[in-house]
Amino acid sequence: AQSVTQPDIHITVSEGASLELRCNYSYGATPYLFWYVQSPGQGLQLLLKYFSGDTLVQGIKGFEAEFKRSQSSFNLRKPSVHWSDAAEYFCAVGASGGYQKVTFGIGTKLQVIP
């Protein structure tokens, strides 16, 4: 069975500082990996995804993530955080098929302080 662990429930960073959100997954084959962001009162928006090729993937809003098979990790990074990045971030792992069965982590809530 596939699973996702996000070890940090809540993270606080200063505006302009760098950010790294951790994600570890469990999946039997080559995983499809995703990061989503959710602003208060909104649905989830896809930031980026990985399923093959270059292990460093670029997403929207200046985010990137690196797939490390040996560590079963897919950490999300941003070099300089903006106040508007305050939101909840979800890592997810999925399987291919006729439809996409995706398992989400519990989420990491990001607070940005001036």
For the chain, the DSSP string reads --EEE---SEEEEETTS-EEE--EEE-SSSPEEEEEEE-TTS-EEEEEEESSS-SEEE-GGG-EEEEEGGGTEEEEEESS--GGG-EEEEEEEEE-SSS-EEEE---EEEEEE-
Among 31, 57, 65, 107, indicate the residue that binds another protein (CB under 8 A).
107
Q: Which is nearer to another protein, 33 or 81 (CB)?
A: 33
Among 90, 93, 108, 110, indicate the residue that binds another protein (CB under 8 A).
90
Residues 56-85 touching another protein, rule: CB under 8 A, are: none
| Region near another protein per CB under 8 A, out of 18-26, 67-75, 78-86, 90-98 | 90-98
- Give me 69's structure tokens: 């098979």
110 is a site residue for another protein (CB under 8 A): no
89 is a site residue for another protein (CB under 8 A): no
Give the shortest CB-4-to-another protein separation in angstroms: 8
Q: Which residues bind another protein (CB under 8 A)?
A: 4, 32, 34, 36, 41-46, 49, 51, 90, 94, 96, 98-107
